[in-house]
Amino acid sequence: MRAIAKVLILGLSSSLVLAAEPDVLRLSDAVTRSLAQNNEYLNLLSSIEGAELDLEDARSEFRRQFYTRLDSDARVGAELGKTFRSGVSQRFEGGSRWNLEFYNSDFGGNNLSEMRLSYSLPIFDDPLDSGTLELRRAELDFQHRERLARVGSEELIAQVASQYYQAVLARDSLQAADGETALAKALANATRIRVRNGRSSRLDQSAAELRVAQANQRWNTARSGLASADNRLKIMLGMNIDDPLVLDPALPAVSDPTANMPEPEVTEALALANRAELLRLGEEIDLARRKLQTEPESRLPGLDVTLQFARVGEGEAFSDSIDMKENRVGIGLSMDMDMNGRRDITYRRILLFYKQRQRDYNRLSEDIRADVRNALMQHRERASQLALTRSSLELSEQRFKHAELLYRTGKSSTEDVLEREQALSEARQIERQARADYLVAGLEVKRVTGTLSQEYIPQ
């Protein structure tokens, strides 16, 4: 019975240990996690909600508005009384408006009730005051916020991929430092033996011990670099820095880094068609142009015509006035002469804004083209560097095999084989660094063209 209990306890403890081990975090999982938990990106998504609320507010200007108002201490001349009004109104994008209102007043024993229907139509109206352009601006701002969120996701994906690779390579550096330290200690032991046998000098032993100390120092630097790389990645992923982190050490394979390189002309055209900040400037220029095109209309004095129909009742009490038997029809005119030149000042500001945005658009277009060309040059350089490091890796592999062959035939020492093995390990690490740089450069090309998404992240 005790044996069975002991087996159950051991099995339970083993399962708890296995359950406590963190899962391997792949690059695709890291990107998904960052898009769900990164603080800056979540704030960017919140700004979309704010722009959506602004858009709803702008749209509400053209929805039916219900209102009710009661003034219990209203005054007309020296008389004190009360008024009540309740109604519904709606404004249209063209500037017209209708209103249906019930009104009642009670002053000094005189009670008045009125049901009024009115329709206002602008004959000459300032388009800038119609609300249509403001609605369009709110729509454009909402679209821009959505694009900014897309840009934010592209930048975050590129940053997470780059930092993920740096964290993986930091593990390679620590592993290489382990190998270098082990090699330095082995060579130091061999040197001490040769010194005792009179085959090496004390100076050789001091050099070997110095190499061990240097290897230990590089190991400490590699361990510090790994901790720093992991912490930066954890912050990007919205993790606590004390959370365990296990990464997939494998890097995506690259068959031929120099094949299928993007064409500069096509890439530039793609960037100019997709970059969110350039699209935003184009929309602002278009909106300002539409405002400027309304200038001839706005120079006319504002004139509104209002048609009214009302049924009116009057008596000593509300029960008397509610029997509204009298019909009234009226027409009203309202004119805004703009004696202070407000419209002229407004349009001069719009013209200045329009010219400024045109200059910004032209400058940004050139900046984007420069970004694309720099990214393409960097991508080509990384491809060439990767091809070169692969050739160096092949040479290191051949030299290591040759050293092993010489050792088997007694023509080489153990130290020579260890040196070649360490050189091969360093060549592999350099190739992995070059491959990571090449992959990040490819993502950067996608980012500067505004086409980077999760689908480009290896699964």
CA nearest 39: which of 231, 243, 239?
239
CA dist 154 and 38 (Å) reads 13
pLDDT at 12 over 50: no
- pTM, two decimal places: 0.72
Question: How many residues are given for the chain?
Answer: 459
Number of CB atoms found within 10 A of residue 178's CB: 15
Q: Which carries the bigger pLDDT value, residue 297 or residue 434? A: 434
Long-range contacts for 259-264 (Cβ within 8 Å, ≥24 apart)? 261/376, 261/379, 261/380, 261/383, 262/376, 262/379, 262/445, 264/372, 264/373, 264/376
Chain mean pLDDT for the chain: 85
Q: Are strands 24-25 and 246-247 parallel, antiparallel or unpaired?
A: parallel
pLDDT at 10 over 60: no
Amino acid letter for position 244: P
Contact indicator for 157, 453 with CB cutoff of 8 Å: yes
How confident is the model over 305-327, as a mean pLDDT? 89
pLDDT band at 356 (very low <50, low <70, confident <90, very high): very high
If you search the block for the tokens 């740096």, which residue do you land on?
166
Q: Are strands 65-76 and 24-25 parallel, antiparallel or unpaired?
A: unpaired
Question: What digits encode the pLDDT tens for the residues 384-427?
Answer: 999 999 999 999 999 999 988 988 888 888 778 888 888 998 89
Those residues whose C-beta lies under 8 Å from the C-beta of residue 235, and which sit 6 or more positions away, are 241
pLDDT at 449 over 80: yes
Q: What angle do CA 149, 270, 256 make, to 5 degrees?
A: 100
Q: What is the percent of the chain where pLDDT is above 70?
A: 87
Tell me if residue 91 falls in helix, strand or coil: strand
What sign for the dihedral angle of Cα 59, 61, 64, 67? positive
pLDDT at 2 over 60: no
CA dist 167 and 27 (Å) reads 11
Question: What digits encode the pLDDT tens for the residues 53-86?
Answer: 888 887 887 888 999 998 887 666 656 788 899 9
Q: Which stretches of 245-397 are assigned E, i.e. beta strand?
A: 246-247, 302-315, 326-336
Q: Which residues of 38-72 are buried (b: 16+ CB within 10 A; e: fewer)?
A: beebeebeeebeebeebbeebeebeeeeeeeeeee
CA dist 131 and 92 (Å) reads 9
CA dist 212 and 215 (Å) reads 5
Number of CB atoms found within 10 A of residue 351's CB: 14
Contact indicator for 450, 275 with CB cutoff of 8 Å: yes
Question: What digits encode the pLDDT tens for the residues 91-143?
Answer: 887 778 899 999 998 887 788 999 999 998 887 666 555 666 677 778 888 88
How confident is the model over 435-443, as a mean pLDDT? 93
How confident is the model over 234-263, as a mean pLDDT? 90
